[in-house]
Amino acid sequence: MSAELAYLILIVVLFALAITDLIVGVSNDAVNFLISAFGSKAGPVWAILLTASLGVFVGAVFSNGMMEVARKGIFHPDKFVFSEIILIFVAVMLTDIILLDFFNTFGFPTSTTVSLVFELLGAAVAISLIKISHEHAGNLSDYINSGRAFLIISGILLSIIVAFTIGAIVQYFARLLFTFQYEKNYKYFGSLWAGFAFAVIIFFMFIKGFKNSAIADAPWVQWILHHKAQVILYSFVIFTIFFEILKSVFKINVLKIVVLAGTFALAMAFAGNDLVNFIGVPLAGYSSFEYWVKSGVSPDQYTMEALAGKVQVPIYFLLGAGLIMVLTLWFSKKARTVIQTSVDLSRQESGYERFGSSPAARAIVRVWINVSNTIDSITPKPVRNWIAKRFEKKKNKENKEMRGAAFDLIRASVNLVVASALIAIATSYKLPLSTTYVTFMVAMGTSLADRAWGRESAVFRVTGVISVISGWFFTAFIAFTVAAIIAAIIYFGGAVAIVIMILLDIYLIYHSRLIHRRRMAKEEEEKRIKQLEAEITPENVFDKVKETILRELKKVPDILELTKNGFLNSDRRKLKEAVQIAESLKDNSKHIKKEIHRVIHALRDDMVGAAQYYVQEVDHLREIANASVYLSRRMHEHVENNHELFNKEQKADFINTYQLVKQFIDEVINIIVNDEFHKINHMREWKNEILKELEDAKTIEIQRIQNEEVDILSSNLLLNIIAEFKNLVLFFNRALKAHKRFYLHKKALEQPIITT
């Protein structure tokens, strides 16, 4: 194979990797421009995605053709030959795909700019050190533009602090102005606020979206860029009048228009400026290949001074990239996962939290509480009362707008306006702020100012924010390290190493999809529970409770069947599946327990007596889940560790007790399904018979141990199985009694009231 053909294949590989990188990159960065629209439900999903898609496509088409970060921003191309440059670019693309896909899988938003910069830096440093060691000439500073890396790090810190602080301050005063019951003040200030927001968004679109784009030299763009103050003022006046007409005459909620316009602007700026993060490297590789082919020089001797020049990107590359980005927005499940993380951390109401607590978060919350108490103590009481009234929230039953939304349109518009303004100002002064960091931290700042981080949720939200921020710094470290390692492997391993690394990438992406699929399945279960709880009304509360409890109880027979067959046949796959179902049952029962207040709130005054029985039923469900998890885990671990299985007598006892327990559980479920509570006395007698059988089986096994007839580990396992079978029978029976009492309240309420 000729050298030219070999390198052409590498260029094709680079573009194939670029397509994958576009998909995983957009999945990560979609949170930048979709969080506010999705979180506030500013429109139907299709309308939000269509708006964002138009912004992405326009931004991609008018994207800056001079993608110089990948060409000369991090290293000095004249110090490298063509063969080395291509290795750097391949290493960067392989690393970027793995890294971004990893973050997407676990729903963490990160910066594609930071990942690209530090991948380029890591790969270039690795090749530079190899060159220095082989040629014994020059220093690392001759090859690397290290100042750019330090600029990015400072940009991270600046983004975090400035965006969070400004977002919190603006949201605080916006809430003081509008309050949570903002309908009244919206009549007076809605058009002014919308006009100001639109003026900022317009300013942002031109400063960030068009300043460095392919149409930046157009006279009308130049006029706007040189008359910023006039443009903002004129925009404010014109749009304020326009929105007043829409609001007063056509009764349109102009805040929704602001949120959708902000979504379009951020999406356009993202595509116009961050496209380099996905296709800049392969385009630089393609340019390098063209220069080298024309030179006729050996790839190991042709130095890449040509990369220091400016090259306009062909329009068909931009059109193709824009189309891939739009399709990803519509069809990527991982994009929804990343968005959901940011929405969960900023939602107004407490409830199920994605993150746990951490010592750092607890310390931060305690300090904040002390600071807040100090401020309250020195603030005059009338002022405190006035502020408290401005921040008074609607009750959930009254707040129609917040049904299904994480936060309201006031906060959504503040998110977009503040993020747009900060990014536009930073761009105009050439400050290195990250779009991802700004949008995320503004959303966190506004949620804090809106008192969304109450005592019930603050420690979990702070833990989530700390986790995400830690991930940003981890991005820089891991991007540098992995890119450097891959570059060194490719340098010494040649074509074979490249093939192996590509196959490894494919495997890791496939494996991450399996992980993400399991996470999504778990979240779908949680979503179904939330949906049931959200649909609960005083009229259907009993039916919804029955549906929720039954769906979870029906998992237990499946768990028992899988554990029995898996254990007797040493089938680890079935045992692992049983463990997964049991853990799903445990997680869901925990969530049902946390959301128990929703059911209680749905009960009318004459239904309150039923609440205690529902609480009992949920407690019994938790115990059933714990027994199922312990049982399936112990049996799975026994087989996984290749321990001795049951002998003939133990096996017979296990099968006998299993059948008794499973038949009992099946009958309990059948009674609840058909409301056949007249059988409950029979079930009590049957329960006592099964418990006696289980005690007899335990006694017999203890005798076997005394006679040294059995293996210690298998005996321990059988005794544990019998103990968990006993727990299952007891708690299924208790759950049945609790549900009967819950059901009797329903029947009592259905009886007609007889008057004389």
| Chain-centre distance for alpha carbon 415 | 18
Say what the pLDDT of residue 152 is: 67
- Cα distance between residue 443 and residue 17, in whole Å: 32
Q: What is the pLDDT of residue 535?
A: 58
Cβ atoms within 10 Å, residue 568: 16
Phi-psi region of 570 (alpha: psi -120 to 50; beta: other; left: phi over 0): left
Tokens of 131: 């060159």
Residue 309 carries which DSSP code?
Answer: S
**Predicted local confidence at residue 531, as pLDDT:** 56
Distance CA(543)–CA(182), nearest Å, equals 36
Tokens 């990014």, residue?
Answer: 423
Pairwise CA distance, residues 462 & 444, whole Å: 9
CA distance 645 to 642: 8
In sequence order, the β-bridge partners of residue 81 are 303
Q: How far apart are CA 515 and CA 532, in angstroms?
A: 26
Residues forming a β-bridge with 303: 81
The rounded distance, in Å, linking the Cα atoms of 405 and 280 is 37
Q: Is 692 exposed, middle or buried (0-12, 13-18, 19+ CB in 10 A)?
A: exposed
Beta bridge mates, 537: none
Alpha carbons 690 and 26: distance in angstroms, whole number: 57
At which residue do the structure tokens 């891939």 appear? Answer: 324
Residue 733: what pLDDT?
A: 93
pLDDT value at residue 753 = 41
What's the pLDDT at 576? 92
Q: Are 17 and 282 in contact (CB under 8 A)?
A: yes
380, 268, 284, 258: which is closest to 325 by C-alpha?
A: 268
716 residue type, one letter: N
Cβ(435)–Cβ(329) below 8 Å: no
Sign (positive or negative) of CA dihedral 696, 702, 703, 709: positive
Task: Report d(CA 750, CA 252) in Å as an integer.
Answer: 43
Select from 681, 549, 669 the least CA-distant residue to 615: 549
Inter-residue contact 741 to 734 (CB < 8 Å): no
At a CB cut-off of 8 Å and minimum separation 6, what does 535 contact? 544
Q: What are phi and psi of 320, to 5 degrees?
A: -65, -45
SS (H, E, C) 211-251: CCCCCCCCHHHHHHHHCHHHHHHHHHHHHHHHHHHHHHCCC
Classify residue 407 by its DSSP letter: S
The residue to which tokens 């093939």 are assigned: 499
pLDDT value of position 703: 92
The per-residue pLDDT for 656 is 93
Q: Which amino acid appears at position 292 of this protein?
A: W
- DSSP element (H, E) containing 720: helix 712-750
Rounded to 5°, angle at Cα 351 from 346 and 354: 65
Q: What local confidence, expressed as pLDDT, does residue 489 receive?
A: 94
pLDDT beneath 70: ranges in the chain: 1, 31, 63-73, 107, 136-137, 148-149, 152-153, 156, 208-216, 273, 276-277, 309-313, 334, 338, 342, 349-356, 394-404, 427-433, 455, 516, 519-539, 602-609, 746-756
Give the SS3 label for residue 325.
helix
Query: In whole angstroms, what is the distance from residue 568 CA to residue 576 CA?
Result: 14
**What is the Cα 603 distance to its own chain's centre?**
33
pLDDT for the residue 18: 82
Terminal CA-to-CA distance of the chain, rounded, Å?
A: 102
The domains found in the chain, sorted by start residue, are: 3-519 (no CATH), 535-750 (1.20.58.220)
